[in-house]
Copies of this chain bind each other. A is one copy, B any other.
């Protein structure tokens, strides 16, 4: 199957983004006082290729001539990721962070050879899977290096094996979400990992960033799904994960999960799989308030009764129907909308759904029917396209997310919301939902929209910094599922403290002594 194409200045295919719903346009008109036309610049200039002919020839010998790309479009498509600042810079024609060349290895051994080349020639190497980082994970530091190679894993797309007895599958890192699921579906199994970036993001990226999908309550976070990893490092190959669980020292899988290309290149990932669900049901629930809905989520989680999907929009997000992109801006209901989803064998789905319904009804929830659930499921990967449309009309929109323990939820919610509203000033919309739920706590995902000013990157970064400070003040994490990249480093250092930072630096120095791997990313 063919993957959809990314776009160098947008999330994806412009055709998917053109249809800003009428109601949304009206809402923007009302909230932000009219639409601007902010088209992306069409003429862009790339910096010259920094690597010399000998160096490029060496790389070509490793992967083959046709797999070393230095064309403008190839470099442009691997420049930065898909955060709003990334897109704003791309739309303004700024390609200063473009890699010198794109190199596409086909095997673990070719990756290892490329690592050796980069070490010898002091060339920085940026692993590239789906290119969907929203935290600057692809923006490696250029200073001090002879050049920057984008290591595009697009040729490493094999389903290596499926073990139907152990219910595991080994996949290569370049498989994008839909490609992996299509290959696994031939064996009747699924990973069940569906982040919003699903269409583009890759298996290697899921692992390297500790990704979490919309069905995390049912299938688990990606880091919980990984049973084995193969990692090519400048110091040799690391294979970790010899059993479903063990007590053989620290769990080195969990040191590589979240290593964001800074410790090595993940070349194979073995994950737990499940049978493709025979049935999928999504439905809506209404709650008088966000806290009522959150308390119900907590009750379900602590009773061991979580559905496959469970999400809760706060009052603001519910009011503009963000959970139903086709209807954004249409008149919303009062209170808060919850989406629950059940996937599995019909009997198990029916039993779980009945148990959940009993709990939610008992706690004061009102069923809102399957239509609203299906609408969410239908639009679940659309929000990033909507952002493209909003940026086109001068609405600055971005998301950020965090997580904390249940008893700290209100403090975190208030702190981040206030920080965003205060920094961005009127008119600003701050919307929030809970989309990942655990026995001990949950995530908070904020969507922010404001009128784009003259310096929109700086405008957003100030708000982001204030929100990040608020997360630290509340004792929460700087990121539940977007990783550290370059953008979160400052707060990440606060979160893990100086001893934690020194541990990461020591591992980095051991595995990547010349610092060629994604320099500037992750390690404070």
Contact = CB atoms under 8 A, between A and B. Distances in A.
B439 A272 contact: yes
B404 A243 contact: yes
A406 B260 CA distance: 31
A478 interface: yes
A57 interface: no
A416 B92 CA distance: 64
A171 interface: no
Copies in the complex: 2
A499 B237 contact: yes
B506 A243 contact: no
A239 interface: yes
A163 to B, nearest CB: 5
Contacts of A482: 247
A229 B124 CA distance: 35
Interface string A486-524: 001000100111111011111101110000000000100
B499 A235 contact: yes
A441 B480 CA distance: 28
Interface string A233-250: 101111110111111111
Instruction: Output the residue of A245, A348, A406, A502 with the most chain B CB within 10 A.
Output: A245
Interface in A283-319: 298, 302-304
Interface of A: 163, 165-168, 209-212, 221, 223, 227, 233, 235-240, 242-260, 272, 274, 298, 302-304, 348, 402-408, 436, 438-442, 475-484, 488, 492, 495-500, 502-507, 509-511, 522
Contact of A484 (B249, B436, B477, B488): B249
Contacts of A210: 246-247, 251
Given A235-B502, A243-B403, A246-B477, 4 more contacts: A165-B405, A242-B404, A243-B402, A249-B260
A192 to B, nearest CB: 12
Contacts of A488: 248
Instruction: Output the residue of A210, A405, A509 with the most chain B CB within 10 A.
Output: A405
Nearest to A275: B302
Given A255-B503, A304-B348, A212 B247 contact: yes
B511 A503 contact: yes
Given A480-B246, A495-B242, A252 B506 contact: no
A85 to B, nearest CB: 19
Contacts of A163: 405, 407
A522 to B, nearest CB: 6
A179 B524 CA distance: 41
Contacts of A243: 402-405, 441, 476-477, 480
B440 A166 contact: yes
Contacts of A476: 242-243
A158 to B, nearest CB: 20
Contact of A258 (B167, B249, B404, B406): B249
- Give 8 closest A-B pairs by Cβ, nearest first: A254-B254, A506-B510, A210-B247, A166-B405, A244-B438, A246-B477, A243-B403, A165-B407
A442 B245 CA distance: 8
A454 B227 CA distance: 44
A227 to B, nearest CB: 6
Given A440-B167, A440-B227, A500-B252, A247 B479 contact: yes
A507 B272 CA distance: 29
Contacts of A495: 242, 248
A136 B246 CA distance: 17
A507 B263 CA distance: 14
A479 B246 contact: yes
Nearest to A295: B165
Instruction: Output the residue of A233, A439, A480 with the most chain B CB within 10 A.
Output: A439
A442 B507 CA distance: 31
A260 B248 CA distance: 10
